[in-house]
Amino acid sequence: MALAENKVAKVYVWFVTMLLSCGVVWSQTSAIFACDVGKNPALGGYGFCDKSLGVEERVADLVGRLTLQEKIGNLVNSAVDVSRLGIPRYEWWSEALHGVSNVGPGTRFSNVVPGATSFPMPILVAASFNTSLFETTGRVVSTEARAMHNVGLAGLTYWSPNINIFRDPRWGRGLETSGEDPVLTSKYAAGYVKGLQQTDGGDPNKLKVAACCKHYTAYDVDNWKGVERYTFNAVVTKQDLEDTFQPPFKSCVIDGNVASVMCSYNQVNGKPTCADPDLLKGVVRGQWKLNGYIVSDCDSVEVLYKNQHYTKTPEEAAAKSILAGLDLNCGRFLGQYTEGAVKQGLIDEASINNAVSNNFATLMRLGFFDGDPSKQPYGNLGPKDVCTPANQELAREAARQGIVLLKNSPGSLPLNAKALKSLAVIGPNANATRVMIGNYEGIKISNSYLSFVYAYHAAITI
């Protein structure tokens, strides 16, 4: 290939990845963690701060020390602090669909870490059919997430990946998924989750970061001709559910050992997924043996009460969801109405204990209760490990492997810059910049986005 042709190919691939460049580190903040015995030596006497004990024993010790109100305050994504026990507030909602994102409130960029490596959208990475690539990208994302956590810019729980089946091209969020094939989506789900979660030592009871497979289940509509995701009832046969929609989630839990599953807004055969004990307790935790927590999509519990009118009272909605197997509510609903549900006899405190225990167990596996992160595995990671040249090159390679050439008429590609007299770039995204990075994305840094027009103009002199 001629030099000019090489230049065209390289600029094009660089454009497809839409990488975020990195900036200068100016200052640092500190990580948020529990059991800071350096500041309060008395915390060392608590069982839940004792790293020599097992997770189950530590969680039982912690939950046994909490009031009902404190337990309920840890059933929502913006979990409350328990200052008397040295437990700070924790934000569960962070995103890492194709790189660390600032979409959720648990993660932010600043002059300390102004941007993270942005990989291509999952539908492109999945098109590579390279299972090792799925895992490798997840590993890079989790390293950058840990590095940001160490300077107080990110959490440890990431509500990614989206493993819904892209069954209808009219669904505007299909680019977040791996496509329409349940087998490929299952492979992508397990691989990306392993990359995010697995520690260097390979201990299945430890987590590098906690992933979350969403949106469970039969979910592929937002708003189409008056049908909204908040009230949509997916009528699905048992065979279609088992053959099409469930395999990615099953693989995510069993093969990927994911730490979380997110239930969706919609109903499946007349039942809201977040209040369906068969789908949650029966399948996810019972049949598939989830080792982690089940979280609602944001405000899903409120939606099943207010929009779907599935229950008569908000307290009933809170109770039904927890009893069905929900552990964490993205939103405030459980924080507002669970205590009332207890007082009305709709749910007992033991059920709340079970839910909050699943949440705390996840944080235990992440090392959140092990004290200062700088003295733990990955404690040496920092801004220098985010958006490195090697990580950016991996993003480019992911784009190279995922690009699918549908047609190449004889003599068309690769382009010959010397032979071109004119070049037209046609289509609604011909001169698009920011939109091409996709959604659930990281932050834009400097002038890092290229349009197709700009990319070709920079590569070819006509």
Q: Which of 50, 243, 255, 297 is catalytic?
A: 297
Active site residue 297: yes
Which residues contact residue 345 at a Cβ distance below 8 angstroms, ignoring those fewer than 6 apart?
none
Q: How far is CA 240 from CA 30, 167, 189, 236, 243, in A?
A: 48, 12, 19, 6, 5
Closest by Cα among 104, 97, 101, 103 to 126: 97
Relative to beta strand 260-263, strand 293-296 is parallel
Q: What are the phi and psi torsion angles at 324 (to 5°)? A: -75, -20
Interatomic CA distance for residues 282 and 166, integer angstroms: 25
**Best CA proximity match to 116, nearest among 383, 450, 446, 373:** 383
Q: And the tokens for 371?
A: 């004290």
User: Torsion over CA of 413, 414, 419 and 425, rounded to 10 degrees?
Assistant: 70
> Buried b / exposed e across 193-228, counting CB within 10 Å, b at 16+?
bbbbbbbeeeeeebbbbbbbbbbbbbbbbeeeeeee
Chain centre distance of CA 95: 4
144 neighbors 116 (Cβ within 8 angstroms) = yes
List the one residue out of 112, 111, 118 whose CA is nearest residue 137.
Answer: 118
Provide φ and ψ at 340, rounded to 5°.
-65, -35
Three-point CA angle 144, 445, 191, nearest 5°: 35
DSSP 15-80: HHHTPPP------------S--TTT-GGGGGSGGG-TTS-HHHHHHHHHHH--HHHHHTTSBSEEP
CA distance 203 to 181: 31
Neighbours of 323 (CB within 10 A): 19
Written as one string, the DSSP assignment of 378-429 is TTT--GGGSS-HHHHHHHHHHHHHH-------TTTSS--TTT-S-----STT
Query: Any idea which residues carry the catalytic annotation?
Result: 297
